[in-house]
Amino acid sequence: MPLETSWVEAANAPDCDFPLNNLPWGVMSRGDDDEPVCCVAIGDCALDLAALEAAGMFADLWDDPVFDFPFLNAFMELGRPAWDEVRARLNGLLAVDGEDALSGDLALQSMALVPLASARLHLPFVVVEYTDFYSGMQHARNAGAILRGGDDALPPNWLHIPLGYNGRASSVVVSGTPIRRPLGQIMAPGAEAPGFGPSARLDFELEMGAVVGAPSDPGRPVTVAEAEDMIFGHVILNDWSARDIQMWEYVPLGPFQGKAFGTTISPWVVSTAALAPFRRAAPPRAVPVLPYLEEAGPGLYDIALTATLTPEGGDPTVIARTNYSVMYWSAAQQLTHHAVGGCPMRVGDLLGSGTISGVERGSWGSLLEASWGGREPLTLVGGETRGFLADGDTIAMTGAAQGDGYRIGFGACTGAIKAAHAEHPAKR
């Protein structure tokens, strides 16, 4: 599919993340005192959907406002027909040869188009529940070899089932929100009992997140095809991890405090419609999947991803370059498995893909892997070394699907590490 040209000139640049082909969904405000509203990104601007709604652009589609809110959930609840109709209508309003209801109305343009440089971006939807999966084969193998050693690095059930755990929706934050180093119990090597203090092995995980925009009924499984139709779009996701806290607590029940302190997502939700030209098939299956997890077509996407680490006052170092298409389980398969036992899915559920790591070193999406458990620290631009994250470090993740003369971007997913609280309140 070629570039769709827009009268918003910046959207036609080959290196623009937000061409007319994209139109990602978000939430923005014009300043600290303005109420957030729903928007889409086009070129170097955010288009205020609440302003278009007030001008009657969607009056034939619904009665009550859905965009004059600080979240996308009310719009998502309308379902895929509404998502597709609004996307088509926006395309018509913004295309260079489209209708002139917006391009010919300078007053409405002035009200609705906000420069991204001056817009404040917010968490784009209310995260109702958060589930993180473990669906990257190379990451699972690397992590197993580092943490357990031996030849059984891949768990025996991993090839049969999309493994996951229920995380914390309350600690999901939008890009740019600082992350405080967590406190917790840590069992030091050779110690007989755990100590308490700040994590010394703080890490990031480069992931994608799928946003559920349609619910499922309690007790009713969904098919992979139905799951595909339930997914509103995708974000870049950083599942921050405290490896030393995680190691002490994860047997037998899995991650808890080592993951619960923070998850960062990019501010824009890229629709499945925008990503449709970039679908890719999953890698060859090592064993046949059970029928309920079989896909009729390609379920992954060709999205190139990069993670950089920038120390405070320093320059960025690329830690990982990888691609979402290396995953073993797709978001639709994850969603299908999530609901197969009867678990009801809700509008605003967020599903983390699991760490995205390629086969080669340099494509591993965590410091746990890149530094091989801290035993082989990385040398950064400027000469500092890192096994795990230091206070003041910033992790920035970017991603895009490359089209013919255009790219479908997500915006940056960034977070800087703040020092842990000096002490626990119980000591005061």
Number of CB atoms found within 10 A of residue 97's CB: 8
Three-class DSSP category at 141: helix
Three-class DSSP category at 242: strand
Number of CB atoms found within 10 A of residue 186's CB: 23
Chain Cα centroid distance, residue 312: 24
DSSP label of 126: -
Cα–Cα distance measured from residue 239 to residue 37, given in angstroms and rounded to the nearest whole number: 26
| Active-site option among 122, 139, 160, 421 | 139
The pair of structure tokens assigned to 128 is 């109702």
DSSP states of 55-118: TTTTTTT-SS-SSSSSSSHHHHTT-HHHHHHHHHHHHHHHBTTS-STTTT-HHHHHHHEEETTT
Residue in 305, 262, 207, 259 with CA at minimum distance from that of residue 416: 262
CB 20 within 8 A of CB 94: yes
Chain Cα centroid distance, residue 400: 12
Cα–Cα distance measured from residue 392 to residue 79, given in angstroms and rounded to the nearest whole number: 42
Mention every residue, 6+ apart, whose C-beta is less than 8 A from residue 170: none
Mention every residue, 6+ apart, whose C-beta is less than 8 A from residue 288: none
Three-class DSSP category at 228: helix
CB 28 within 8 A of CB 119: yes
Number of CB atoms found within 10 A of residue 188's CB: 13
Burial class of residue 232 in the structure, from the number of CB atoms within 10 Å of its CB (0-12 exposed, 13-18 middle, 19+ buried): buried
Is 139 assigned a catalytic role? yes
- Cis geometry, peptide bond prior to residue 425 (ω within 30 degrees of 0): no
b (16+ CB within 10 A) / e for 298-335:
ebbbbbebbbbbbbeebebbebbbbbbbbbbbbbbbbb
Q: What are the φ and ψ backbone dihedral angles of 387, each rounded to 5 degrees?
A: -95, -40
**Which sequence positions are flagged as catalytic?**
139
